[in-house]
């Protein structure tokens, strides 16, 4: 029987801009309204990754009432006008209101956001901070100083799945907070169940704020002009007035690297199912930054994302969860990280080149890149900004090394490398992209910088 014909491509293919720095280092309020994170079970999550996700997904609450004339609010930085302090508090408070846990992902969240003074045994057993009664809750996804999610932990907006992986104390905390969503069906995995809860959270945010699902118009990041790819009529010229815009809504997928090939492959295939024209799913963790590009033209950049800038962003997020980190504090932390990166680059330059390949501003090798047709053959891929650019190549895992109609066919493009940001990718079919982005120093640990991604 002949295979069914492929659906015709949309008349106006997607033109998307994907910026890791805009998501993780300095997410504006518009980004936070349209971004959620789903935590999966598996290996422990590095604290750095969890705090970055919390900062990117905490929906900004409405501003508190302004104080009466002459009333002054006092913050950590000293006295400030009540109006300025109130607005800073609303804009910068970091909560768990954008975090959804798929079953055992709640264990990882419990451990990753515990106070540094919690002992290791308490974290591992789910006892740290106590489950106690009274005081706070966490149903709103906030930081619970003395409620079920005590010990400085971030409380998720929902925990969903068959719940067979929750440790007893974590389950008790989730139940007390009223965020337990039992879904015992075995016809779908916890990831799919969690994605349903994520989409419900985005819809609720849109209903409450008018733009919770996001919208390209309210994102303040500038659109990106496409780069010209040699010998490619499919890539847009730089003087074209059509631009790449951020995705309307974003889901960050964290964890799930449990050491089982079936789980890992299943999670990668899930990126195909859940990435739509309205929702972009990014997976962060072991292996770096992974996502599926839908048919169209995309600009991709992780410029500015280094272990130093990530550490600064994590420090600001942790501060914002307990007190309130002002925009000035965030800018100062970013400036300090940039200065440290510049000093490291100068020292590395004085010692000579550290690599034979392209390097970024900190004298690090530029990230590795993989373009993989995991969801099926990709008829045509054209890139610009890679060391080995593709020019109209067909990717087909079952027919690599052949040629059809004068078009070269590869099984996949692996071990490629970024030459310059942004990278432009034009694809005729859904395409899995992996970028080996270092988010922390190899072997690094600690509360602020996070641990190694296992």
Let me know: does 268 contact 40? Beta carbons within 8 Å.
no
Residue 88's closest CA among 329, 296, 304, 310? 329
Higher pLDDT, 207 or 198: 198
Cα–Cα distance, 192 to 266 (Å, whole number): 11
Rounded to whole angstroms, the Cα distance separating 276 from 342 reads: 39
What is the C-alpha separation between 164 and 263, in angstroms, rounded?
A: 16
54-69 pLDDT tens trace: 999 987 665 555 444 4
Model confidence at 367: pLDDT above 70: yes
What percent of the chain clears pLDDT 90, i.e. is strictly above it? 30
Local confidence band at 285 (pLDDT 50, 70, 90 cut-offs): confident
362: pLDDT confidence band, cut at 50, 70 and 90? low
The angle at the Cα of 35, spanning 139 to 304, to the nearest 5 degrees, equals: 125
Q: Which of 81-85, 101-105, 135-139, 205-209 has the lowest mean pLDDT?
A: 135-139
Nearest to 346 by CA among 367, 361, 359: 361
Query: What is the pLDDT, as a whole number, of residue 232?
Result: 37
pLDDT band at 92 (very low <50, low <70, confident <90, very high): low
Q: What is the pLDDT of residue 446?
A: 37
Q: Is 211's pLDDT higher than 60?
A: no
Mean pLDDT highest for which of 100-104, 122-126, 127-131, 294-298?
294-298
* Higher-pLDDT residue of 233, 347: 347
Stretch 353-361: mean pLDDT: 48
Identify whether the C-beta of residue 237 lies closer than 8 Å to the C-beta of residue 226: yes
Pick the residue with more confidence: 200 or 11? 200
Specify the higher pLDDT residue, 71 or 414.
Answer: 414
**Selected residue with higher pLDDT from 450 and 116:** 116
Under the banding of pLDDT at 50, 70 and 90, the label for residue 127 is very low
Q: What percent of the chain has pLDDT over 70?
A: 61
Tell me the two tokens of residue 346. Answer: 């100068």
Residues of 388-398 as b/e, b for ≥16 C-beta within 10 angstroms? ebbbbbbbbee
Return mean pLDDT, the chain.
72
pLDDT tens, position by position, 303-341 = 999 888 999 998 888 876 653 334 444 445 555 555 555
Which residue has tokens 């079952």? 398
Query: What pLDDT is attached to residue 234?
Result: 38
Least confident of 122-136, 274-288, 348-362, 404-418: 122-136
């Amino acid at each position: 029987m002949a295979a069914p014909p492929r659906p015709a491509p949309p008349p106006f293919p997607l033109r998307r801009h994907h910026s890791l720095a805009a998501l993780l280092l300095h997410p504006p309020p518009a980004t936070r309204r349209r971004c959620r994170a789903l935590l999966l079970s598996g290996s422990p999550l590095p604290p750095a990754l969890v705090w970055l996700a919390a900062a990117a997904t905490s929906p900004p609450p409405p501003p508190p009432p302004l104080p009466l004339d002459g009333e002054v609010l006092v913050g950590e930085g000293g006295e400030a006008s009540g109006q300025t302090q109130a607005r800073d508090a609303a804009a910068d408070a970091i909560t768990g209101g954008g975090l959804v846990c798929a079953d055992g992902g709640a264990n990882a969240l419990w451990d990753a956001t515990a106070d540094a003074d919690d002992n290791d045994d308490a974290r591992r057993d789910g006892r740290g901070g106590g489950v106690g009664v009274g005081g706070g809750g966490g149903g709103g996804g906030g930081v619970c100083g003395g409620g079920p999610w005590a010990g400085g932990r971030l409380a998720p907006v929902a925990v969903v799945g068959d719940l067979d992986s929750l440790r007893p104390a974590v389950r008790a905390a989730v139940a007390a907070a009223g965020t337990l969503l039992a879904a015992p069906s075995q016809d779908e995995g916890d990831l799919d169940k969690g994605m349903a809860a994520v989409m419900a959270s985005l819809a609720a945010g849109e209903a409450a704020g008018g733009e919770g699902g996001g919208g390209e118009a309210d994102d303040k990041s500038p659109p990106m002009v496409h780069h010209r790819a040699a010998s490619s009529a499919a890539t847009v010229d730089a003087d074209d007035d059509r631009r790449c815009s951020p995705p309307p809504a974003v889901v960050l997928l964290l964890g799930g690297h449990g050491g089982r090939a079936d789980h890992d492959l299943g999670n990668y295939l899930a990126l195909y199912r859940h990435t739509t024209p309205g929702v972009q799913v990014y997976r962060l963790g072991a292996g770096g930054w992974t996502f599926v590009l839908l048919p169209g033209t995309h600009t991709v950049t992780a410029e500015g994302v280094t272990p130093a800038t990530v550490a600064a962003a994590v420090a600001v997020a942790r501060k914002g969860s307990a007190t309130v980190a002002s925009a000035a504090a965030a800018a100062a932390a970013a400036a300090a990280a940039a200065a440290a990166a510049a000093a490291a680059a100068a020292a590395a330059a004085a010692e000579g080149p550290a690599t034979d390949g392209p390097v970024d501003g900190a004298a690090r090798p530029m990230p590795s890149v993989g373009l993989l047709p995991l969801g099926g053959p990709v008829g045509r891929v054209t890139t610009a900004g890679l060391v080995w650019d593709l020019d109209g190549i067909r990717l087909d895992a079952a027919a690599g090394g052949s040629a059809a109609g004068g078009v070269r066919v590869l099984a996949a493009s692996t071990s490629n490398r970024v030459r310059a940001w942004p990278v432009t990718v034009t694809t005729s079919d859904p395409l899995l992209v992996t970028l080996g982005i270092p988010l922390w120093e190899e072997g690094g640990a600690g509360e602020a910088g996070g641990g190694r991604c296992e």
